[in-house]
Structure 1
Amino acid sequence: MYLEKFSVSGKLAVITGAGRGIGLAIADALGEAGARLAITDIDSARAEQAAAGLREKGYQVDSYTLDVTQPDVVNAISKEMVERYGRVDILVNNAGISICEKAENMSDSDWCRVIDVNLNGVFWCCRAFGKAMLEAGGGTVVNVGSMSGFIVNRPQEQSQYNASKAAVHHLTRSLAAEWAGRGVRVNAVAPTYIATEMTAYVNDSPEMHQYWVGGTPMQRMGRPEEVASVVLFLASEASSLMTGSIVLADGGYVCW
């Protein structure tokens, strides 16, 4: 009874930014749990390379090139997927970027770029795929937020990133409230620092390493598969009573 609730067999899962890192781990988790995968990335070669690796594991996978900051493209791909597969059951908004810069020195373009990818991109995808889910009578959205939506990180300055993730958390709650009565659940995971190629630079900075790892009660960074496990839970019927939840996966970081 309980283990089968974690199955997403026969469902179509769309994952943005799935060419590597956390997004690829999420695709792997959902594929292992039985989902058909539509993985997207702004880099078409990276998306197809990731898809090829997942196909080797026996998963059904298609890859798409998607820049989440382009609402017309998001709308077109959503329509294409619904026409091709019949419906979209799971959407994971993982695509995101970070630029570290002091607020007083931050350029307009850097501020707008982070907000455009991390917040606007999440909304464009929620709007397009969520509308399709509502029309089909149900679906599940999982947004990848961050513990940075709860805290101010140290020692790096990243006010635009923190603001974008806090906004994603509240967007998650807002959409959850709007759509709960119509069969669409919307939740988010808020990870700590995750060990990927994008964060490997921390190993060359003793000060940053002390804040990142030394500031974590578990005394380590997270792993992509640890975030993917939470996403699988939120995407599956195991979390059927949850909507509007922001699930921290932070090694206890915000406790301090």
Structure 2
Amino acid sequence: MAFGLISRSLPIISRTAVRSCVIQTRFYSSPNKKTLPSLSMEGKVCMVTGAARGLGNEFCRAFIQSGCTSLAIVDLKEQEAVDAAEALVAESCVNSNMKPEDFNIIGLECDVSSERSVQKAYQQIMDTFGRIDSVVASAGIVENYSAFDYPFDRIRRLYDINVHGAFFTAREAARNMIPNGGGSIIFIASMSANIVNIPQPQTPYNASKAAVKHMASSLAVEWAKKNVRVNVISPGYMLTKLTKTILAHDPELKKTWESLTPMGKMGEPEDLSGAIVFLASDASRFITGSEIRVDGGYCVI
């Protein structure tokens, strides 16, 4: 529901008595830096829905930063998905030893509310990569209407995308993962699955995310012995590009959201990167049916 961030260079400063400041991109850190091997996404085939922009695009970026080179960017409009794939490849090669031919990142058209469309997308993925290891069901919409004023056709559309789309995405993922030994499925719910947002009215959205959260738990139990893990990430208020545009016209709403968050601020999209890589990687191989809330403590109080 928002736009990806532009890559920027970050300084990495080692012990002052030993090394000087070395500038690296956000994609590749120092070769001497140690990371838990099981957190690596190297060699894994990943898929993210709703990934042409917003949080979905940030998840793709996190996978690439962690070593993934085989990725399907799935979104409603094919050209936007293809453009996002090309942009991610170009960004990944900046100030690194990687070349465009080192990546196999594809953009696919898919309406997640259509089971047939989801099945077609998975067939293209299997034809291209031969397997799928980690899937993120990120496609979703949110609207703010009072309960009395919410048009039924829009409620139905919201549930078709947020709930049915998540189910179709997960079911086809499992069907393709099980013959190859299993995999990881991650639903993107919301802190709204646990609390009632104020001041904005959004009852159908809140209920849809609660459904996604419980769906993940149910599927986790159903597929546990087949080595398909199903977990949930529930973001709080995130400063995506779209959210920034909305709040620019309503600064008081931003103050309200921040005042209700114990950390006193909104999150950045990249604050979700660690959680998404952890649940998609082998580092979480004994975790299923769990929820990670990335909300600045909002749901604690």
TM-score, with structure 1 as normaliser:
0.96
Mapped pair 1:27 → 2:72: no
In structure 1, the partner of 2:80 is 46
- Say which SS state the counterpart of residue 274 (structure 2) adopts: helix
In structure 2, the partner of 1:244 is 289
Please report how far the alpha carbon of residue 191 of structure 1 lies from its aligned counterpart in structure 2 after TM superposition: 0.4
- The 1:44–1:80 alpha-carbon spacing in structure 2 relative to 1, beyond 3 Å, is closer
Please report how far the alpha carbon of residue 46 of structure 1 lies from its aligned counterpart in structure 2 after TM superposition: 2.0
- Can you list the C-alpha shifts for 1:122-175, whole angstroms capped at 9, x where unaligned? 001111111111122211101101000000000100001000000000000000
Matched-pair contact (CA < 8 Å) for 2:109–2:121:
no
- Say which SS state the counterpart of residue 104 (structure 1) adopts: coil
Structure showing greater radius of gyration is 2
Mapped pair 1:13 → 2:46: yes
Please report how far the alpha carbon of residue 198 of structure 1 lies from its aligned counterpart in structure 2 after TM superposition: 2.1
Of the candidates 234, 248, 267, which is equivalent to residue 203 of structure 1? 248
Query: How many Å separate the matches in 1 of 2:131 and 2:277?
Result: 19
Query: How many Å separate the matches in 2 of 1:164 and 1:119?
Result: 6
Matched-pair contact (CA < 8 Å) for 2:49–2:138:
yes
Name stretches of at least 5 consecutive residues in structure 2 with no aligned partner. Answer: 1-33, 94-102
Query: How many Å separate the matches in 1 of 2:123 and 2:233?
Result: 26
RMSD: 1.3
Please report how far the alpha carbon of residue 116 of structure 1 lies from its aligned counterpart in structure 2 after TM superposition: 0.8
> Which stretch shows the higher mean deviation, 226-235 or 205-214?
205-214
Query: How many Å separate the matches in 2 of 1:228 and 1:122?
Result: 20
Query: How many Å separate the matches in 2 of 1:227 and 1:244?
Result: 18
Structure with the larger RCO, 1 or 2 (CA within 8 Å, 6+ apart):
1
- Say which SS state the counterpart of residue 237 (structure 2) adopts: coil
Higher helix share: 1
Please report how far the alpha carbon of residue 45 of structure 1 lies from its aligned counterpart in structure 2 after TM superposition: 2.5
Mapped pair 1:92 → 2:136: yes
- Can you list the C-alpha shifts for 1:34-92, whole angstroms capped at 9, x where unaligned? 22111111122321221112111144311101111111011122122112211111100
Query: How many Å separate the matches in 2 of 1:155 and 1:32?
Result: 37
Mapped pair 1:112 → 2:145: no
Matched-pair contact (CA < 8 Å) for 2:163–2:208:
yes
- Say which SS state the counterpart of residue 171 (structure 2) adopts: helix
Matched-pair contact (CA < 8 Å) for 1:2–1:238:
no
- Say which SS state the counterpart of residue 289 (structure 2) adopts: coil
Please report how far the alpha carbon of residue 227 of structure 1 lies from its aligned counterpart in structure 2 after TM superposition: 1.3
Query: How many Å separate the matches in 2 of 1:248 and 1:202?
Result: 23
Written as runs of structure 1 = structure 2, the 5 A alignment for 1:1-256 is 3-35=36-68, 36-56=70-90, 57-58=92-93, 59-200=103-244, 201-256=246-301
Which letter maps to 2:67?
G
Please report how far the alpha carbon of residue 2 of structure 1 lies from its aligned counterpart in structure 2 after TM superposition: 6.4
Percent of aligned pairs sharing the same letter: 38
Which letter maps to 2:194?
F
Query: How many Å separate the matches in 2 of 1:255 and 1:183?
Result: 31
Name stretches of at least 5 consecutive residues in structure 1 with no aligned partner. Answer: none
- Say which SS state the counterpart of residue 260 (structure 2) adopts: coil
- Say which SS state the counterpart of residue 296 (structure 2) adopts: coil
- Say which SS state the counterpart of residue 103 (structure 1) adopts: coil
Which letter maps to 1:255?
V
Query: How many Å separate the matches in 2 of 1:83 and 1:19?
Result: 21
- Can you list the C-alpha shifts for 1:158-217, whole angstroms capped at 9, x where unaligned? 001000000000000000001111111010100001111221212322432232111111
